[in-house]
Chain A
Amino acid sequence: MEHSSPIERVLRAVALTLVVLFFMFPIFWIVLMSFQTNETILRIPPSVVFEPTLSNYKALLSGRLETAAGTLELNFLRTLWNSIFLSVTSVAVSLLLGVPAAYAFARHKFRGSEDIAFTLLSFRFAPPLLVLLPLTIYFQQIGLANTYIGLIWVYQLICLPLILWIVRGYFEDISADIEYAYRIGGHSWFATFRKIALPLAGPGIAAAGLLAFIFAWNNFVFALVLASADKQPVTVGALAFVTASGIQYGQIAAAIVLSITPTLALALYAQRYLVEGLSLGAVKG
């Protein structure tokens, strides 16, 4: 690999350029679109030269969209808030439930622990609609339909297995002797969990939480089935945008940009954790 010929190096560079182009272009293009008016978007041939405008974002944030058919009230900020609230709360609940369970699975090989862990993991692979469709009927009956609580509960299906599985791996990596040392020093199991296990698994818990947040944010089908307009997150809200007639294309693009920015920013900010979490989630379990 060290003695690569010039031709090979050129080929490599070309291939890498194509890769970057293919994977970056859509994001780049949508961002460009979000700063354009309908006139510049509809130009043939398309061009990257245009007078940038913030009007799309202003319209989105004010919630009043000028369309061909007139002014449309579309509360995009509300869906953004829903996404934030649902994702943050779901991850928080997941951490609260999942971290102690992960600790139990990692430290105590109790009867059936392996079976239970695998059952929980298998939720990650079950078709979501299998559970969702009957759940809509149940939620109607017990009054959880279109409530945040109902959604957060269902979101555990995404977050909990992920957190359980990744955090368990991190707990297993802590030498048992370190925890023994603390207990022998005179501390209870709970103090040991709090003062030793939690801080040492901290990076892993952060990585798992981050990944769970992104997965919750990016989820589509749960909210599509269970939430009506006022509880919708951005993924579902943006679809409604596209199907609503007469909305300016630049505004759709701006809505998409606003919807994907939080996860992309998080991904860039914590990419090392993320890669670790993804690899661990897949290879280690």
Chain B
Amino acid sequence: MSVVSAQRRPSSGFRISKRVLPYVLSLPALLVCIGILIPFLTAAWYSLHRYRLSQPWGYKFIWFDNYLNFFTDPKFWNTLKISLTYAGVTVVLELVLGLAIALLLQKRSTVNNFISIMLLLPLMTAPALAALMWKLMTNPGFGILSYLASLIGLQDFRWASSPSTALLTVVLVDVWVYTPFIMILLLAGLRSLPTQPFEAAALDGVPRSFVFFRITLPMLMPYILTATLFRLLDSIQQFDIIYAMTQGGPGDTLTVFQVEAYLNFFQSTNVGRSAALMIILWAITYLLSNIFIKHWLRLRERARGHG
């Protein structure tokens, strides 16, 4: 009798070769994504054209004029400035707040676990809907926050409808939604830290500020960096909260990249400029995500080295 019985081995045509199998498995997913890649290239192509939907006869290849025009375009500089400000302010606030909350909740207890679960709720709220909730709360007529502001002497505090406080308002919503994200990551990080260094420090009576800055923070760094980059990439592309809250207004106070591109496309129907804006945003995120991926690979390496 043969060990490798003939009847158990199917005809050779039926079998998928070991070498082809992984490609077969990942092909459908790849195809779907490649379908998405085409518009990406189109966008790059459009960005080199004068292209307005309302003036199709003006369609013309103009090299990098859309980009060069940005240099003398105050609206573009405003967009760049407001996008970076928004990303910077939200990420810093969320990081500080998220770290503080994670430290408060570090110890495992029923109350702490309950609170950390509750904090999931803002994160799971659609950002656009969160903006609407805050819009209702900051309504000058009946908004509870407008009322509270008036109680502390801020009469007629206009929140998102005033250019001076619009940024503050959307940042507040962003902080409300996304601080829990950073909190969750950092809490997971804090709870996974080895306990020995802390016990040793406590036994030796090392001051707690020293423990925090010299032990906790450095050990938590990988988590902090990951959370920061994740948030930075999202925040610089923020659209939902700002659009739902103010449509980029009042005036052009909050015309961050994606909002500006959206308005350019659908209101001014200026496809060329809109595409150029998006390509610039993409370049920024590509740069950031490359930093992230390099960093992530290093993290993984380190994790594997320990394992």
Direct A/B contact, Cβ within 8 angstroms: yes
Total B residues in contact with A, Cβ cutoff 8 Å: 94
| B128 with A130: CB separation less than 8 A | no
| A45 with B29: CB separation less than 8 A | no
Q: Which of B100-146 contact A (CB under 8 A)?
A: 100-101, 104-105, 107, 111, 115, 117-130, 132-137, 139, 141-142, 144
| B40 with A110: CB separation less than 8 A | no
B160 at the interface (CB under 8 A from A): no
Given known contacts A127-B278, A264-B125, A134 and B43 CB-to-CB distance under 8 angstroms:
yes
Query: Pick the contact of A164 from B29, B237, B261 — CB < 8 Å?
Result: B29
- Of the listed residues A41, A129, A138, the one surrounded by the most CB atoms of chain B closer than 10 A to its CB is A129
- Of the listed residues B100, B120, B134, B271, the one surrounded by the most CB atoms of chain A closer than 10 A to its CB is B120
| B117 with A268: CB separation less than 8 A | yes
Given known contacts A104-B26, A164-B29, A268-B117, A220 and B128 CB-to-CB distance under 8 angstroms:
yes
A81 at the interface (CB under 8 A from B): no
**What's the least CB distance linking B278 to chain A, in Å?**
4
Total A residues in contact with B, Cβ cutoff 8 Å: 95
Provide the residues of chain B in CB contact with A224, threshold 8 Å: 243
Bound CA span A12–B104, Å: 7
Provide the residues of chain B in CB contact with A218, threshold 8 Å: 124-129
Bound CA span A29–B23, Å: 52
B90 at the interface (CB under 8 A from A): no
| B144 with A131: CB separation less than 8 A | no
Q: Which chain B residue has the least Cβ–Cβ distance from A96?
A: B28
Provide the residues of chain B in CB contact with A42, threshold 8 Å: 141-142
B202 at the interface (CB under 8 A from A): yes
| B22 with A108: CB separation less than 8 A | yes
Query: Pick the contact of B43 from A33, A46, A133 — CB < 8 Å?
Result: A133
Given known contacts A100-B26, A104-B22, A221-B240, A16 and B104 CB-to-CB distance under 8 angstroms:
yes
| B136 with A33: CB separation less than 8 A | yes
**What's the least CB distance linking B292 to chain A, in Å?**
8
| A267 with B32: CB separation less than 8 A | no
Among listed B61-69, B70-78, B162-170, B225-233, interface-contacting one: B225-233
B86 at the interface (CB under 8 A from A): no
Among listed A59-67, A174-182, A251-259, interface-contacting one: A251-259
Provide the residues of chain B in CB contact with A100, threshold 8 Å: 25-26, 28-29
B207 at the interface (CB under 8 A from A): no
| B144 with A279: CB separation less than 8 A | no
| B125 with A260: CB separation less than 8 A | yes
Query: Pick the contact of B29 from A2, A15, A160, A242 — CB < 8 Å?
Result: A160
**What's the least CB distance linking A56 to chain B, in Å?**
13
Provide the A37-57 mask, 1 if CB < 8 A to any CB of B, else 0: 000011111100000000000
Q: Which chain B residue has the least Cβ–Cβ distance from A262?
A: B124
Q: Which of B176-197 contact A (CB under 8 A)?
A: 176, 179-181, 184-185, 188-189
Bound CA span A98–B25, Å: 9
Provide the residues of chain B in CB contact with A268, threshold 8 Å: 117, 120-121
Query: Pick the contact of A278 from B104, B128, B185 — CB < 8 Å?
Result: B185
Provide the A244-280 mask, 1 if CB < 8 A to any CB of B, else 0: 0000010011001001100110111001001100110
Q: Which of B251-288 contact A (CB under 8 A)?
A: 257-258, 261-262, 265, 271, 274-275, 278-279, 281-282, 285-286, 288
**Number of A-B residue pairs having CB atoms within 8 Å of each other in the complex:** 264
| B137 with A26: CB separation less than 8 A | yes
Q: Which of A107-134 contact B (CB under 8 A)?
A: 107-108, 110, 113, 116, 118-123, 125-134
| A252 with B136: CB separation less than 8 A | yes
Q: Which of A215-234 contact B (CB under 8 A)?
A: 217-221, 224-225, 234
Bound CA span A26–B36, Å: 37
Bound CA span A103–B227, Å: 26
Query: Pick the contact of A101 from B28, B40, B101, B128 — CB < 8 Å?
Result: B28
**What's the least CB distance linking A157 to chain B, in Å?**
6
| B258 with A138: CB separation less than 8 A | no
Provide the residues of chain B in CB contact with A97, threshold 8 Å: 28-29, 32
Provide the residues of chain B in CB contact with A135, threshold 8 Å: 39
A-B contact list, 5 entries, CB within 8 Å = A46-B147, A101-B30, A126-B285, A129-B239, A218-B127
Interface residues, chain A, with chain B CB atoms under 8 Å away: 1-2, 12, 15-16, 19-20, 22-24, 26-27, 29-30, 33, 41-46, 96-98, 100-101, 103-105, 107-108, 110, 113, 116, 118-123, 125-135, 137-138, 153-154, 156-157, 160, 164, 186, 189, 214, 217-221, 224-225, 234-236, 238-239, 242, 249, 252-253, 256, 259-260, 263-264, 266-268, 271, 274-275, 278-279, 282-285
